[in-house]
Structure 1
Amino acid sequence: MAKSELKDYMLRNGGSVALDCVKWSYKFDHLHGDSQGWSEASLEITTKGELIMDGDAVMIPSLQKCEVQLFPEPRVLKVKSLDLKCVFIKTQQSEFEPLLSCLMVWQNLKPQGFYNKYSFNRSIVHDENLRTNDLLVCRFRVYGPAPNYKKIQLSGLPKTPLYPSEDKQTEGWFTAMGYLKHDGILDLLCESDGALLYSVDITKLYCSEIRPLHHSLFQQPNILFVGRINELRRTHRYANEIDSEDEAPFILKNNRPFSSIHRILIQFDLGIDLKDWIVALKTFAKIEYIGNRFTKDRMRLVKNYKLEVVEAKFKNPSLDQNLHLYVELHMWGGPWYRTAIVKNSNQNPFWKELFDLDPPPSAEFFTLLLKSSSNSSVYNLTEEDPVIAGAFVTPDFMSEPQMMKKLPLYGEQSHEIGSVTINLSLREVHIMSYHNYRMFEGMMKGIDVRDLLQFVNPLIEPQNVDDLSQMLLDIYQSVNMEHEYFEHLMSFELESLKNSGSKRHSTSLTNNLNTLFRGRSLLSTSLEKYQIRIGQEYLEKLLGEFIGQICAENLICDPNPKAYPTTYEEHYQNLLNYVEELWNRIYTTSNDLPEELKQEWGRLRSKVEHSVDPSDTETPLNALCSFIFLRFLCPAILNPKLFNLSRNHQLGRVSKTLTLIAKVLMTLANRSQFAPHKDPELLRLNEDFLSKRNDELRLYCDRISGRKMDFTEKKLEMTNTMGKPSLDASEEILSELPSRSYLIDKYLRLAEFASLLDSKNSETIVSTESKRKSVMSELKLDLLGLDDTDFGSRDFIKTLLEDGDDELNQLILEKQSINLEDLKRQASVVVAKTKALEQAISETELPSDFTSDSFMEFVNTILKAARIDRDHCLVYDLTGNENGSLELFLKNRRQSANSPRVNSKHLKEQVNKSGSAQSVSTLRNSVSSASLSSPKSTFKKLFKRRSIT
């Protein structure tokens, strides 16, 4: 039977079939062709996917994503539903093909539930209608298989803990030129002569497999993981799905396999290059989403977990207090995050480290391993650090926020040895295609920022000021309006302070301004985040080497004569040398500061000057210095690990030195001096440093705020002075990815802010009925032929999601002004569309969802992807590569029906020789029973040698 016959049945019957008489059974011995008794009945598969016998006996209520197994015995097949209900069916010769074609349709439709609709688009290189990138070239370090080229020097350090080679292939770090081509192939070239070392096929990867590594993993920044994560892929799939590209060569040379290793690591010199290449590489990868590729109903799912590892407590007092401990977070069979290494003080090691986890949609659980290091600052120094204990963070635990939650720690013998305390929060956002936000984005750009601030200001509370400030900053920066945003934000907050106090009491106003500069308002938080985002590279180049020098020298800088009566003079000189060196670095690199920061600092100084008495020159300087020193330079000095300036948190002597340096720098910034009753040991710095550098400080402030020309020679080779390579890809692709340079997800932020506006819109919370009519009126649904009774129907959802309101949108955007109520109503439209699309995607997939054209495409895809695995199960290749095993099986089955009985073992061997895929028997989204129900026994696999006790 040719596939064309199956296609005819599919198109004709559309997934339903009615057979007058079949035989069925719950058990069948395919080796002998026997069952425990066949029963005869009529069979019907309905348009909803129900398998019914004898008119009313529902054998399987939902056939979506069912498994179908074919047997050499003519006309016998097994159907297994997602809820594990099984039935064997034997048909007449003429009825087998209609039944099989019908089941194949339902095998490729998905069950009810939003999270059951994971899907992806193939690489952009397979779509002639989408535009690819311009070429990108960059010099970087690579960790991967040895190139076997005499001009390449291989370094084994630092070793990678992520998916080491199983067959002991030689790997290491080497320098190469990366050349990303139009076809998605990344060529690695020898730096000296341009010879091809080998190539990496990016088109074989999913977007979630291109991941920046947390700096703790290698204790170095700017490292990108690029490779296949098999365990992650398995969580995406149903039992009847495979991907033939799972085993396809990933590392090639001249189009031939070069290595069986399925990942490389790339380390960039600069963070700006890392972010550019993340976006560039992902444009060639498979883009993941929730939805249906044929009906075009799809959404992007963004999950963000904030995990804070607080501390551990042990029951066993015999655990060595001199152990150096850290926590390692494992996902998909490998480590992805590590805390700092701390001592086991009083059986209570303390970290309080916060990690931002951005897992793909299918991520369900992870493991926390407590490890012991032989070194106080380096992981796995000589060999793999031993595991002491571990804890599971399971799906039910991850479904809601957790505060100060104690997870049991299980040791090697599955005994509970203590607990680890964590905080966990989840943010999940469902994002529609970019064109659904065009109107809302245009109105955000057109509305008076002051109106928006009037709305946001009453909502600000200590617990949400970070999120609100980040959301607004991301939106305005992504549309290149951040300077306009800060212009209005500064005016708004300064006017609010000015109006809150009497104009006759200038002292009160000055105090309020100083409170604003040191507090956590929307302005202070937004500008602080902007400074760190724009100035991160400057901080790294200004302070990285300096802090490394302090850590290496480990000098005592405490000049307290009571604590050090014989050496305090030496300590004082150490401190003075450090602050002089740091100030010289700061003062002589004023021209290296990014122009964007100088522009905002100059604006802030001018705004404050217009808010205070003309004779008051100190308050504007206080404002400027508070942002430069209090919120930018000093935090990086006090906590360099948070700014990727050091490997670990600084403790003891180094921490004390950094605190003293930051204290002296802040005193200089305040144009004040140390007082005898507070800091007697630092009094000498008033004369030796502060008084000498006061004029330089004022000149520095004038330069960076645009008051005086800055002719200082540039020293740091900042990338803001270098030309950026272009990245020319289709809007359809780039809209699914974060922006370059700062990885801002514009449509994520627009979706979040629309939700916030809608939740506060009084017109939409009066009642469900009024909300429905408001949204329908806004969308002109009456003109589309729908009345109020259509709400929630498939026709309503389809019409709501159609982007046919361009003329109306243009008229609104061309209004002379857009007010807050306009924006709120549009936000409600966005939210209504989002909920309607969520509802549409969540529903059970049916053949009736398709148009005639999309169903034809669906059927063609099914027939191309179908294949028989070694267990004679009918599976489908997600990549769509055809291998002929189904054709061969059906041909042999037809021959056996017209000839004496063929030995089933011989027939099975024939199918296996056709190159069919391995059987996939694990249900999608299943979690190992050992991982969830028996965590204690699972931990036995995590220990490579005896734990330390």
Structure 2
Amino acid sequence: TCTIWLLRYTLHVTSAPPGPGFLSRRLKQSLRRTRSQPKLSLRSSRTSRGFRDVVLDPECVMRRLRCGSQESLLSAGCVSSLELTMDQSVIIKPVHSSLLGQDYCFEVTTSTGTKCFSCRSAAERDKWMENLRRAVHPNKDNSRRLENVLTVWVIEAKDLPAKKRYFCELCLDDSLYARTSCKLRTDNVFWGERFDFSSLPSVSSVTLHLYKDTDRKRKKDKSSYVGLVNIPVATVTGRQLVEKWYSPSHGGTGDSSVPTVRVKARYQSIVILPMEQYKEFAEYISSNYLLLCSTLEASISLRAKEELAAALVHILHSTGKAKDFLTDLMMSEVDRCRDNDQLIFRENTLATKSIEEYLKLIGQKYLQDALGEFIKALYESDENCEVDPSRCSTSDLLEHQANLRMCCELAFCKILDSYRYDSHPDT
């Protein structure tokens, strides 16, 4: 019961084929890029008519994306105004970067249509979305509401034809929400990509469409639809992630093998109470977090510890008490392990899980700014950095070692250059 209340309250207070040499060119270009590079940004000016910004027609954008073009993102003369009224039908949600090729976007759907906007950071996007939601629902904190949250891991696929590249499109009730990257099949096709969606409308099914990518330069080589995986939301509703192998239907691979896709998902519909009803509970957490942690530590599972630690960190961070909480929890851990100092911070405790969550909360922006482009370039490259002699041929080993050294040097340069990026005020 305590964990459910923590989760509810947390949601209340806290409501993303290369040729030879591609890796080196891509990474070195990434290294030379500066923060002054032109980027579509959300202007915060207000007029009597509403919020002004670049407006994108989603259907037009998707057609362009299908054709490999994203010109509409930076198209001039697309400035318009956004009319917002206190209408329950207004939907404000983030747009995954895989759809627009642009980070930190969100869209607003009203009775007159849908408009997309881009921000400079995830924090700025979340702030705009929250402000717009409050403009539409000014009584949000004082009303009871339902928060729908979905997490989907698209992990891997097997028994697909080799030497082909594959990608998936993720749809919720037939609406496209995200797309995986294209991956070449070796033993299996491994994506390992996680998608998190919040503030969703009511959803009945999650559908994964599997495609074989094609060479766009070959006019005869058309996109090949492999099949779809339909996951009823009712089968993945609950507190635990459900992992399963699924067989795509309504498609084929052209041979006798039957492909399967491994997906891990969790859907939750959480009732959020009016803020006033959390007042006493919030005061208790702020004053008694050590007692709460020591009481629950020995009686809850590792997964529950992760959920509890995440909830406490987010709640106390929103009230400015996260540093005190972590300091007290760390000293309590030191006292507990005083006679076994080799165990300090080496066990799966609420203390270690809280530190992990706080590092994610505070350090994510820095890591994205410092290493995001580098990791993306490395992830999309086909060049090999395998240096285990038992897993690659002797003739390739020197080339692989050179690739690995270059990647390490570039990563180190990116880290050294990261002093330019604004750190979080709490670091």
- TM-score norm. by structure 2 comes to 0.70
Q: Report the Cα distance in structure 1 between the residues aligned to 2:186 and 2:399, rounded to whole angstroms.
A: 31
Deviation, 1:426, is 3.5
- Partner residue, 1:212: 94
SS at match of 1:463: helix
Within the candidate set 87, 101, 123, 1:272 is matched to: 123
Within the candidate set 153, 162, 174, 1:308 is matched to: 153
Deviation, 1:157, is 9.3
- Partner residue, 2:248: 409
- Partner residue, 2:374: 546
Within the candidate set 180, 187, 190, 1:339 is matched to: 180
Q: Report the Cα distance in structure 1 between the residues aligned to 2:406 and 2:184, rounded to whole angstroms.
A: 31
> Bigger radius of gyration, 1 or 2?
1
Pairing 1:471–2:299 present:
no
- Partner residue, 2:45: 137
Pairing 1:394–2:225 present:
no
Conserved? CA contact 1:203–1:286, under 8 Å: no
- Partner residue, 2:298: 458
Pairing 1:512–2:343 present:
yes
- Partner residue, 1:701: none
Q: Report the Cα distance in structure 2 between the residues aligned to 1:359 and 1:211, rounded to whole angstroms.
A: 7
In the superposition, relative to structure 1, how do residues 536 and 576 fare at CA in structure 2: closer, same or farther (>3 Å)?
same
Pairing 1:594–2:423 present:
yes
Q: Report the Cα distance in structure 1 between the residues aligned to 2:244 and 2:176, rounded to whole angstroms.
A: 22
Within the candidate set 83, 89, 108, 1:226 is matched to: 108
Q: For 1:348-359, what aligned pairs fall within 5 Å after superposition?
A: 349-358=189-198
Within the candidate set 256, 260, 263, 2:114 is matched to: 263
- Partner residue, 2:408: 579
In the superposition, relative to structure 1, how do residues 436 and 300 fare at CA in structure 2: closer, same or farther (>3 Å)?
same
Deviation, 1:582, is 3.3
- TM-score norm. by structure 1 comes to 0.34
Conserved? CA contact 1:365–1:398, under 8 Å: no
SS at match of 1:277: helix
Q: Report the Cα distance in structure 2 between the residues aligned to 1:342 and 1:526, rounded to whole angstroms.
A: 34
- Partner residue, 1:200: 82
Conserved? CA contact 2:163–2:184, under 8 Å: yes
Deviation, 1:542, is 1.3
Q: Report the Cα distance in structure 2 between the residues aligned to 1:382 and 1:223, rounded to whole angstroms.
A: 34
1:426 maps to a residue whose letter is Y
SS at match of 1:470: helix
Within the candidate set 299, 319, 342, 2:144 is matched to: 299
- What are the superposed Cα offsets for residues 457-513 of structure 1, whole Å, 9 maximum, x if unpaired? 223422222211111111101111111111111111111111xx2xxxxxx52x223
SS at match of 1:528: helix
Pairing 1:159–2:37 present:
no
Deviation, 1:434, is 1.2
Q: Report the Cα distance in structure 1 between the residues aligned to 2:411 and 2:193, rounded to whole angstroms.
A: 28
Q: Report the Cα distance in structure 2 between the residues aligned to 1:570 and 1:407, rounded to whole angstroms.
A: 38
Conserved? CA contact 2:297–2:305, under 8 Å: no
1:265 maps to a residue whose letter is C
In the superposition, relative to structure 1, how do residues 423 and 333 fare at CA in structure 2: closer, same or farther (>3 Å)?
closer
- What are the superposed Cα offsets for residues 313-349 of structure 1, whole Å, 9 maximum, x if unpaired? 56xxxx6333322222212442112333334456x54
In the superposition, relative to structure 1, how do residues 301 and 264 fare at CA in structure 2: closer, same or farther (>3 Å)?
same
Pairing 1:322–2:130 present:
no
Cα RMSD of the aligned pairs, angstroms, is 4.3
- What are the superposed Cα offsets for residues 855-901 of structure 1, whole Å, 9 maximum, x if unpaired? xxxxxxxxxxxxxxxxxxxxxxxxxxxxxxxxxxxxxxxxxxxxxxx
- What are the superposed Cα offsets for residues 522-576 of structure 1, whole Å, 9 maximum, x if unpaired? 2222222222222222112211343456568866656678967678667656544
Conserved? CA contact 1:157–1:172, under 8 Å: no
Within the candidate set 53, 73, 83, 1:173 is matched to: 73
In the superposition, relative to structure 1, how do residues 450 and 596 fare at CA in structure 2: closer, same or farther (>3 Å)?
farther
1:453 maps to a residue whose letter is C
- Partner residue, 2:15: none
Q: Report the Cα distance in structure 1 between the residues aligned to 2:139 and 2:231, rounded to whole angstroms.
A: 24
- Partner residue, 1:808: none
Q: For 1:392-791, what aligned pairs fall within 5 Å after superposition?
A: 392-394=230-232, 396-399=234-237, 403-412=242-251, 419-445=260-286, 447-498=287-338, 501=339, 508-509=340-341, 511-513=342-344, 516-517=345-346, 519-547=347-375, 550=378, 572=401, 575-587=404-416, 589-590=418-419, 592=421, 594=423, 598=427
Deviation, 1:411, is 1.6
Conserved? CA contact 1:325–1:372, under 8 Å: yes
Conserved? CA contact 1:469–1:526, under 8 Å: yes
Q: Report the Cα distance in structure 1 between the residues aligned to 2:277 and 2:62, rounded to whole angstroms.
A: 48
Conserved? CA contact 1:144–1:171, under 8 Å: no
Conserved? CA contact 2:154–2:194, under 8 Å: yes
Q: Report the Cα distance in structure 2 between the residues aligned to 1:471 and 1:532, rounded to whole angstroms.
A: 13
In the superposition, relative to structure 1, how do residues 398 and 488 fare at CA in structure 2: closer, same or farther (>3 Å)?
same
Conserved? CA contact 2:297–2:349, under 8 Å: no
- What are the superposed Cα offsets for residues 769-805 of structure 1, whole Å, 9 maximum, x if unpaired? xxxxxxxxxxxxxxxxxxxxxxxxxxxxxxxxxxxxx
Q: Report the Cα distance in structure 2 between the residues aligned to 1:417 and 1:349, rounded to whole angstroms.
A: 14
In the superposition, relative to structure 1, how do residues 588 and 480 fare at CA in structure 2: closer, same or farther (>3 Å)?
same
SS at match of 2:116: strand
- What are the superposed Cα offsets for residues 179-202 of structure 1, whole Å, 9 maximum, x if unpaired? xxxxxxxxxxx7xxxxx9321223
Conserved? CA contact 1:206–1:288, under 8 Å: no
Q: Report the Cα distance in structure 2 between the residues aligned to 1:214 and 1:590, rounded to whole angstroms.
A: 28
Q: Report the Cα distance in structure 2 between the residues aligned to 1:560 and 1:419, rounded to whole angstroms.
A: 30
Deviation, 1:141, is 7.9
In the superposition, relative to structure 1, how do residues 567 and 482 fare at CA in structure 2: closer, same or farther (>3 Å)?
same
- What are the superposed Cα offsets for residues 247-306 of structure 1, whole Å, 9 maximum, x if unpaired? xxx3xxxxxxxxxxx2222222222221121112212235899xxxxxx9x521123233
- Worse-matched range after superposition: 385-394 or 581-590: 581-590
Conserved? CA contact 1:158–1:218, under 8 Å: no
1:280 maps to a residue whose letter is N
Q: Report the Cα distance in structure 1 between the residues aligned to 2:348 and 2:100, rounded to whole angstroms.
A: 34
In the superposition, relative to structure 1, how do residues 588 and 395 fare at CA in structure 2: closer, same or farther (>3 Å)?
closer
Identity of aligned residues (%): 20
Conserved? CA contact 2:170–2:209, under 8 Å: yes
1:530 maps to a residue whose letter is Y
SS at match of 1:429: strand
Q: Report the Cα distance in structure 2 between the residues aligned to 1:372 and 1:288, rounded to whole angstroms.
A: 47
SS at match of 1:411: coil
Deviation, 1:217, is 2.6
Q: Report the Cα distance in structure 2 between the residues aligned to 1:524 and 1:477, rounded to whole angstroms.
A: 17
Structure 1 unaligned regions, length at least 5:
1-134, 147-154, 162-169, 177-189, 191-195, 229-245, 251-261, 290-295, 502-507, 599-949
2:235 maps to a residue whose letter is F
